[in-house]
Structure 1
Amino acid sequence: MGRVTERRRVIRIRDGAVSTRPDTLVAEEPLEIRLGGKPLAITMRTPGDDFALAAGFLVSEGVLASAGELANIVYCAGATAEGGSNSYNVVDVRLADGVPVPDITLERNVYTTSSCGLCGKASLDAVRTTARWPLDTSPDTPVRIEPATLSALPDRLRAAQRVFERTGGLHAAALFTTDGELLDIREDVGRHNAVDKIVGRALQQGQLPLTSCVLMVSGRASFELAQKAVMAGIPVLAAVSAPSSLAVDLAVETGLTLVGFLRGTSMNVYAGEHRLALSAAASTG
């Protein structure tokens, strides 16, 4: 199976001095996900947690919602062009008996492998019609989080990124309690893959929906990440950078709490502010 990191020779220039040295890089390899033997999607990922990635991907697509709906996931032997060996870059997901297998069409493949693809309205409709666990949009919802707790999450995320410290080239997604306790963290070259690995592991452990959790991601909050949070029943998504307009639209429509530019004690709350313990003056002014 592929390694998480690889070594490459680099020429290093520092203050005019030139030297050669080995450098540690994050590995990137394609993963083809098949469903019942039929190709579904290809993603570029960091090897590791491939079965969780595939399971989480199918959660975000509305195919899976519980471990009981999953029969097994296997690597495909003979997947290389020469055949006869296991490439560890192709996985096949088998659903449990009685679980419907969705039609795999070109339109579906475009939608699932791209953060754009269909138009905004179609994308929003797709999430609304396939979400298994509607988020609680009541102001009296029991999920509440202090802004100070959110402010501490980026540093906790970075401190737990073991591979990033060696390569500087990985995104991360972490699952926290509303008290700021780290539950799980995954790293990958793709932030969407990191989230799929988080969600897939939760599915495998019978923990979906994640209704009392906060999802913290490095980088920006795209529509795709907001979609994955909603499909896993996660009520709060926080990111260190900006959200996209479609991510905000989805958050408003579904009741997702969406926080961006989470840096130090500063943050922007784009939707779902009812879950934050804000003062009356702050929430109205």
Structure 2
Amino acid sequence: MSRVTARRKTLRISPTGTVQRPDTLAVEEPLEIRTGGASLAVTMRTPGADIDLVHGFLFAEGVIDTAEDIVTARYCAGTDENGQNTYNLLDIRLRTPVPVQPRNFLTNSACGLCGKTALDEVRTRIRYPLPAATPLVDVATLSKLPGELRSRQQVFDATGGLHAAGLFTADGTALAVREDVGRHNAVDKVIGWALRESLLPAHDLVLMVSGRASFELVQKAVMAGIPVLGAVSAPSSLAVDLATDTGLTLIGFLRGETMNVYSATDRVRI
């Protein structure tokens, strides 16, 4: 499997002078997802947990409903300049084949569509309506989640260049944390893990993400039946609209004891 970090030369400039030294970077490589040998999608990701990534991505897009819908997932031949397998081609066999073209993936469809159209499209694909007012999550628990997420970012410690997503219980217990150069990939990886562990719909769990909360992250949480989404940074306007429309509790600027709750505030216990 490809390494998740790589070394590159850099010129370090500081008030004390300059020095040439290697720097550790997060690896970013394409993953092509094929079905029946035909290309279905390509995503740029950090290698690792690719099987979880594919499960989460296809689940969020409505291609599969259960882990059993993927019969096999295997890496295909693909080599670099040294003849080593890159592990960047993943061929899946679906229990029920789907047409490859055209595929209108929801994570891409928001580009070029108006907000109402994007909201309507998510609404028609929802499998698991979110439960009302549950789970209840204490403010004290929410305030600890960013630190808990950060403490499990091993590759970030080495590179400073990865996002993270984590699934937590309502009392703050970490179940799964994944890292990736893309926020959406990190979320796909933890949702794919939950799907393979038969934890969906995740009506009693909390999704915590580094960075901001975009429309697509809210969409993925809603599709997985996750009622609470916390983010270290700001949400977008369309993310708040979707959270409000679907009854998801969306929390932004979650940093220590301060936070903004943008929707479904009754799940947050003060």
Q: Percent identity?
A: 60
Total equivalences in the alignment: 269
2:130 to 128, 135, 140: 135
1:249 aligns with 2:227: no
Aligned to 2:22: 22
Aligned to 1:89: 88
- Report the Cα distance in structure 2 between the residues aligned to 1:88 and 1:165, rounded to whole angstroms: 24
1:148 to 114, 119, 140: 140
Kept in 2, the 8 Å contact 1:7–1:22? The answer is yes
Give the letter aligned to residue 32 of structure 1.
E
1:104 aligns with 2:96: no
1:187 aligns with 2:186: no
- Report the Cα distance in structure 2 between the residues aligned to 1:143 and 1:262, rounded to whole angstroms: 18
Q: Which runs of 5+ in 1 are unaligned?
A: 279-285
Aligned to 2:228: 236
Kept in 2, the 8 Å contact 1:240–1:263? The answer is yes
Give the letter aligned to residue 91 of structure 2.
D
Moved over 6 A (4+): none
Deviation, structure 1 residue 14: 2.2
Deviations 1:59-112 (A, max 9, x none): 1101222122221111122x4699x9844112122212xx36256316x15x43
Comparing 45-54 with 124-133, which one deviates more in the overlay? 124-133
Kept in 1, the 8 Å contact 2:139–2:268? The answer is yes
Could you say what the CA RMSD is over the residues aligned between the two structures, in angstroms? 2.0
Aligned to 2:160: 168
Kept in 2, the 8 Å contact 1:243–1:260? The answer is yes
The change in CA–CA distance for 1:2 and 1:186 in structure 2 (over 3 A counts) is: same
- Report the Cα distance in structure 1 between the residues aligned to 2:224 and 2:169, rounded to whole angstroms: 15
Provide the secondary structure at the position in 2 that maps to 1:271: coil
Deviation, structure 1 residue 52: 1.0
Provide the secondary structure at the position in 1 that maps to 2:76: strand
1:214 aligns with 2:209: no
Aligned to 2:118: 123
Q: Which runs of 5+ in 2 are unaligned?
A: none
Provide the secondary structure at the position in 2 that maps to 1:112: helix
Give the letter aligned to residue 121 of structure 2.
A
Kept in 1, the 8 Å contact 2:55–2:67? The answer is no
The change in CA–CA distance for 1:161 and 1:115 in structure 2 (over 3 A counts) is: farther
- Report the Cα distance in structure 1 between the residues aligned to 2:76 and 2:113, rounded to whole angstroms: 31
